[in-house]
Amino acid sequence: MRTTSDLCGRVLDARYRVDRVVATGGMGTVYEGFDSRLERVVAIKVMNDDLVYEPGFTDRFVTEARAAARLSDPHVVAVYDRGRTADAVYLVMEYVPGRTLRKELTFGGRLPVARALDILTAVLKGLAAAHAAGFVHGDIKPENVLLGDRGEIKVTDFGLARAIEAGDHRASLLLGTAAYLAPEQTSDRTPDPRSDLYSCGILAFEMLTGHVPFRADSADDVLELHRTQRVPDPSAFVEVDGDMDALCARATAKDPSDRFQTGAEMLAVVTRLRRHVDPHAGAPAVRSSAPVLVPPPTAVTPETLVVQTTWDAQPPPGEDPPGAESTSEDPASGSPAPAVAVVGPPTSKPGSPAPVARKRRRGRKVFGLALLATVATLVGYFAWQAGTTETVNTPKLAGMTRSEALAALNDVGLTMRVSEEKYSERREAGTIIRSDPRPGERVAANGTVSVVMSKGPERYRVPKVRGMSQSAASQALAAVNLKTGQILQDYSRKVPEGQVIRTDPKIATPLKRDTAVSLTISQGPEPVVVPDVRGMTVDQAQAALAGGGLKPRTTERFDESVPFGRVIATEPGNGSTAYRGDKVRVIVSKGSQFVGVPSVVGMTIESATSTLEDAGFRVTTREQFGVTVANRVISQDPSGGTQAGRGALVTLTVT
């Protein structure tokens, strides 16, 4: 059966080239791709193979496209197109280079309050657009918040969005994420925009504290905690003021009528809080008296997480610890975390011996139970070894596609599990790098072979940094695992001083990790000195100015001292500073305004007219007796030899 990794290198519908895997999720895999028709990088979300032939999921996938395509907001990832081939159903979406909020929380832990409020602001604006269009997202969580390399923040994955009036909330329950679901999403009540605001409250709590409020062994247990327990105040864990507690408390109220009623209402409160927060402050400090996360009373199993504390917090059987409130699933891991409780300070005095005695007795009991579990495990292991005799050789899988490997393993009665996807310079994307057990090693019949799949060569595209400052461009390069190389400078009329003009290699070029990218920084327009072109002909002046990077524009005027056709002056004047590409006005002499009137008496009308016009005069004639007989000029006004303004009218009397 074809896998999503096998799509790398394919072209869908003769338009969308599939380049590399970006992320995987419950419904599908997201690839970086290229739209050959519009020549732009896009994200392509392809439904998982095991869902393609299930009508319910396929219909939901198409519904996602139709729902998201109706949204147009800078804080929502745009959906461009949807399509279906013989073996794939896919969406084409806006490609946002960057990372998810989950990645930032995983690697950075708690966020500064200002940063958390900025992210929450963008999420609320995106949700406001969705709610206005009649949709509820239904799955707000860090994985669905994208943080772009250029600072943009967008909500993605409207796979759970559906028309409010449709009322199909049971289907969304199957796909939602338990740690962020509102109580009504697990009941018969229809979720509405206030359900998304509840998830935003959980999101705010996690950004401030570094963890979600409720964790348990199973999703059902987490949902039960959301239904029955109050979300604790962030200030119980980190040093934030009461306004942040109030924001989270109102957003996560159990009764929707007690919450913010609209995204705009919650956004107004977040905006007000942001104005009073120090934008340069770091992440809030963890309180020394913060509640301690410990496991609740439960049967000892091999997977029980034992967390030691500095004081005895174990309640008697059937009782809850004082001040306890449940907490949630660990979002950074793919598996559920053990159930935990938020425990208040100890009720016994530090010097009291009773808790110490109980701790020692309990320690011996836990040790004994753990020893019994270990013995039982060893006995089971050797019993299994004794009862299992049939083994087969692991075939060589390296270099095969997933479908080829599945067929090879099926021939010898084995199954396959993809344990990891890694970049490889040697193996093409979608092929197997190595297997465990290795080729030729014996494995139990009907056993499982773990494989590492190749994501192809590790490449990162040069981000769009044109117009950024040098520091912002360096951060954008670092965010995609590239380094800042040589810093060059150049003049530019289009790019302001201090901003990036271009990169080398060019933007969108795929590069290996840690490749250096050179930046050319603008020095602004190039200054030039206006040359002295006075007295030059027009052609000479234009050539001199153009050679200096200036654009001459010619105008004329009369001048009594500068000969006709020569340059009088320039604006700006010679010796002044201009910038390459600036326009310079060149003023050219039309000569003296007054010239001598030629004498044309006795000439034919044609000769007289030509002579006067060549001298720069206009001509009109009148007949002495109302008729022309000799075709000769007998007088003129003004008379020949007098001075008149260039372009003046000369009247000829003819006979």
Active site residues: 139
The encoded tokens of residue 405 equal: 């490997």
The encoded tokens of residue 393 equal: 């050789």
The CA distances from residue 256 to 52, 195, 249, in Å, are 36, 8, 12
Cα-Cα-Cα-Cα torsion 510, 476, 44, 431, nearest 10 degrees, comes to: 50
Name the one residue in this structure whose structure tokens are 């934008």: 279
Name the one residue in this structure whose structure tokens are 């669905």: 144
DSSP character at residue 286: B
Nearest-angstrom CA–CA distance, 311 and 133: 53
Which one, of 462, 435, 430, 466, lies nearest residue 451 by Cα? Answer: 435
Which one, of 415, 210, 257, 236, lies nearest residue 325 by Cα? Answer: 236
Rounded to a whole number of angstroms, the distance between the first and last alpha carbons of the chain is 109
- Alpha helices by DSSP H, 505-634: 538-547, 605-614
Nearest-angstrom CA–CA distance, 463 and 506: 9
Q: Compute the 3-state secondary structure of the chain and give helix, strand, coil in percent, each to the nearest 5.
A: 30, 25, 40
Nearest-angstrom CA–CA distance, 3 and 251: 41
Nearest-angstrom CA–CA distance, 384 and 146: 48
DSSP 532-547: --TT-BHHHHHHHHHH
Which one, of 484, 485, 475, 481, lies nearest residue 511 by Cα? Answer: 481
The encoded tokens of residue 70 equal: 């109706």
60 sits in the region (left: phi over 0; alpha: psi -120 to 50; else beta) called alpha
Question: Is residue 431 within 8 Å of residue 445, measured between CB atoms?
Answer: no
